[in-house]
Amino acid sequence: MISARFLAAALMALTILAFPGIHAAESGDCAGVVLDENGVPVASARIQFESTISRTYRTETDSSGRFILRNLLTGDYKVEVRKAGFFLLTGQSFTLHAGPNELTLTLHHEQELHEQILLGRHMRLNLVVSILLLGLVAAALTRNTAAQETLNSRRASPVGRDHAQAGEQSVGRQRKQARRSGTKTAQGCARHSCAVVPGASSGI
């Protein structure tokens, strides 16, 4: 007679075959590497994987910057990587599938990123200064061009030429009057001298 245990085992086997979803949860492995912003491997970086069901897995990179985590439950994880001298990498999401998985993580140097920020600010400042200088030069050229055009228009204008000619004629008349006045003065002095000399002679 078939025992009760045999019947229970057979019933469980049939249930598992009929409902494969109750099999043991699938697992996978994650092998990866941690690099800096220049592509250089980062050794001794501490890595943490946290699943959506709050399971946490930790490991550390070797001298080549590589790491591996085995037998992880498949699903979504949040990855955190930390190393002294680098900015903390946190909040990065990763989906682990059944079987082997590959992952590359990048850390940024604190000092190099700071220098890049300073360099970017310096370049922006130089750009602003250059734009201001170009604006000043353009404004000066515009003013010089306008002044030259005004001067040329005055020279070409008939009114301007008339004013110039009138000024030249006025100067010429003043010079002629000055010469005439000088000539009359000299002639008067000459006549006066001639009148005095004879009188003086008759007195003697």
Structure tokens at 101: 């998985």
pLDDT in tens, 98-115: 999 999 999 999 986 555
How many residues does the structure list for the chain?
204
Q: What is the value of pTM for the model shown? A: 0.47
CA–centroid distance for 158 within its chain: 55
Is 47 in a helix, a strand, or coil? strand
Q: Are 25 and 71 in contact (CB under 8 A)?
A: no
Q: Are 90 and 77 in contact (CB under 8 A)?
A: no
pLDDT at 77 over 50: yes
pLDDT in tens, 5-18: 655 556 555 554 54
